[in-house]
Amino acid sequence: MTKSADTHCPYCALQCAMTLKSPAATAATGLTPADQPGSSPVPAAPALEVSGRDFPTNRGGLCRKGWTSASLLQHPGRVTEPMFKGPDGVFRPISWDEALGRVTTAVKDARAKYGADSVGVFGGGGLTNEKAYQLGKFARLALGTSRIDYNGRFCMSSAAAAGMRAFGLDRGLPFPLEALDTASTILMLGSNVAETMPPFVQHLQGVRDAGGFIVVDPRRSATAAFTSDGGGIHLQPLPGTDLTLLLGISHVVIHEGLLDAEYIQARTTGFDAVVRSVNAYWPERVQSITGVPAELIRETARRLASGARRGGSYILTGRGVEQHVDGTDTATAAINLSLLLGLPGSTRSGYGTLTGQGNGQGGREHGQKADQLPGYRKITDPAARAHMAKVWNVPESLIPGPGLPAVQLLKSLGQPDGVRCLFVHASNIAVASPDANAVIRGLRSLDFLVVCDFFMSETAAEADLVLPVLQWAEEEGTLTNLEGRVLRRRQAIQPPAGARSELWIMARLAEALEAPSTYSDDPETVFEELRLASAGGAADYSGIDYAMLDSGAAAYWPYPAGSTGTPRMFLEAFAHADGKAVMTPVAPRRRRTPVANPDPAAKPMTLITGRLLEHYQSGAQTRRVAELLASRPEARVQIHPAAAAAMGITDGAGVSVANERGEVVCRAELSTAIRPETVFLPFHFPELESANRLTEAATDPISGMPEFKFNKVWVRLAAATPITSVLQTSEAS
């Protein structure tokens, strides 16, 4: 007997549709997880059968991560009992009653000694909408803390801030992904969809065939290589100069009369100030700053304008141009360019940003962010606070004010006036955070760290207590994909007996802490409350329910009760009071000067980071999939052959990449796809291969986004010790 469940992939925001078929549950075999001492056996049901399901985003296709996703459900490293770390540093299983008691005691002790804000919560963009919503409520009411933020601050915050600034609303793609199928021209900046979400490329075939695909990336990535089809363009700027490049393209649009004057007059404000701001960025000057030829800058502007007139132009941004200290301004420059061309709110053109994490869109709408309440409401808005107080049936005064964005929250760990007791959900901050060495030191300085996870991640290994939670195929719920479309996650198999839903954990802890309001462990009940909480907000889900989603109906927010949802936004008006989009002048800003090079033998270079086809985020899951790990078992630093030759580095040689924050030691991968003054590291690996040992915790002043994509490093041939010995020593430690 088998059970079939139509659901969606647990990885990226494309949320590819899949069907899972599971044999009936069988008895446990008694296998003990190899990398989790002391945990209980995992039920040994045969592996789920995964098949792609026809759906508008993936059309039946899956990437290799999706095809292998079910293998983790029966992984021997699964944490299946609460694990408490003793004074000897060894984890041992304890009962749920003892685990919840220890958490309750730790919270009460921290609040009594240091105040409510000494308890912190770090969430994740992989949580379902229901868990993200209840986590925000749990933090603010049950824990009484303002100190909550999530890893989406490292992903979408700059794009979100720019969208709110320009449109009054942030939805990653304000149009269905299928709209790209008929585009004449697409400008994609800082995104490598061919590796990060491969089924996406189906929607690019038309524009590739038309020769209208333009990619901005310092590397000749797999996506940038598509520009070879039929005369596309690859713009390969110096890292950190994307903002200048966008100003140069805008300059051409304005001064060659390529703009949509009627649209600008009717639907925007701020045009004159933007014209003045780009006057200094003529193509030849931009070429001298970015390295992009002036004629390609002009050609890009002309193609975008021509495409808008003919069959539709789209501008899409990704993390490569957003994960900077000026990421909000860079995204704003891209939006300004799209407004000059009349793209947003058109039926054939548009601007959008590509959400990365599985529920990166929904996860930022319902209360995990430090400054937000559910429905994308501002926590400082009196009307929003009054609305939530009514939904939660509590006095408004019990709802804390804004907290700290993620980087500042992590910097406060263990500090006298900072967070002393931390909850971590759906995030591996020991690998994924900027200046990761400092974050690990902060985790170790806490009085109590509780991590909810299904594997012993690098963050979980630092915890005092690890609570085993459900994996995707073991739970019900909803997620919101990169189009703003709300989707159903459905249970296919029973979880291990010792694992619990985070909804259950929050409900039990709220009861133990005698928290105000009510908390449920039933996803549909929580979603019904989320509907009420979001009603009237920017991200209004009030017209969506489980029955609608189970029927297969498309549900794009905003979806007020009584409406039919909003597949394509801004057709009639933007979300500002006057209905117009706001164009904001922006300019490049100076970056911090790094400390002097302490090693004369090393060459100064610029580090950029990113993803590999085989891995996802910090790699906590994909590094446990045998097929994926076999294909990409280690980090490799990509270096241009000319730069490598000057340092005596050969392909496969051990390389040290270092700066004042730390050092990475890994093998070299020589490639002409990278600029000669730049090196690339994937960010999926831990220990000595952890790219975020090198990234700076400086942040965008508007969004709180860290500087992931522009860091100065010194590169040299590694010491004589064989690279395998170095890495084995690191793993052993």
Task: Quick: pLDDT tens for 144-153.
Answer: 999 999 999 9
Tell the burial category of 592 from Cβ atoms under 10 Å away from its Cβ (0-12, 13-18, 19+).
exposed
Q: Three-class SS of residue 726?
A: helix
Q: Who's near 518: CB < 8 A, 6+ residues apart? A: 393
Say yes or no to pLDDT of 24 above 60: no
* The domain over range 83-150+360-478+485-519 is classified in CATH as 3.40.50.740: yes
Beta bridge partners of 421: 119, 448
Distance CA 385, CA 399 (A): 7
Q: Three-class SS of residue 699?
A: strand
Q: Which of 373, 390, 392 is nearest to 381 (CA)?
A: 373
Residue type, 459: T
List the chain domain ranges.
2-74, 83-150+360-478+485-519, 157-354, 603-732
Quote the pLDDT of residue 547: 97
Quote the pLDDT of residue 229: 81
Over the Cα atoms of the chain, what is R_g?
25
Q: With beta carbons less than 8 A apart as the criterion, state whether 420 and 448 touch.
A: yes
Quote the pLDDT of residue 590: 75
**Class of domain 603-732 (CATH, top level):** mainly beta
Q: What's the pTM value of the predicted model, to 2 decimals?
A: 0.94
Q: Which residue is it, tokens 């078992």?
A: 633
Q: Which CATH architecture has domain 157-354?
A: 3-Layer(aba) Sandwich (3.40)
Distance CA 544, CA 527 (A): 9
Q: CA angle, corner 633, sides to 630 and 638, nearest 5? A: 130
Say yes or no to pLDDT of 731 above 50: no
Say yes or no to pLDDT of 347 above 70: yes
Distance CA 543, CA 561 (A): 4
Quote the pLDDT of residue 196: 95
Q: Which of 158, 204, 198, 159 is nearest to 179 (CA)?
A: 204
Largest CA-CA distance found in the chain, in angstroms, rounded? 72
Quote the pLDDT of residue 600: 77
Residue type, 295: E
Say yes or no to pLDDT of 468 above 90: yes
In this structure, which long-range contacts are made by residues 560-564, counting pairs with CB atoms below 8 Å and at least 24 apart in sequence?
Answer: 560/535, 560/536, 561/535
Residue 38 banded pLDDT, cuts 50, 70, 90: very low
Average confidence (pLDDT) over 492-516: 97
Quote the pLDDT of residue 58: 97
Say yes or no to pLDDT of 723 above 80: no
Superfamily of domain 2-74: ADC-like domains (2.20.25.90)
Q: Which of 223, 233, 138, 101 is nearest to 519 (CA)?
A: 138
pLDDT, averaged across the chain = 93
Residue 23 banded pLDDT, cuts 50, 70, 90: low
Quote the pLDDT of residue 33: 32
Count of other CB atoms within 10 angstroms of residue 655:
23
Does a cis peptide bond (omega within 30 degrees of 0) precede residue 283? no
Residue 356 banded pLDDT, cuts 50, 70, 90: confident
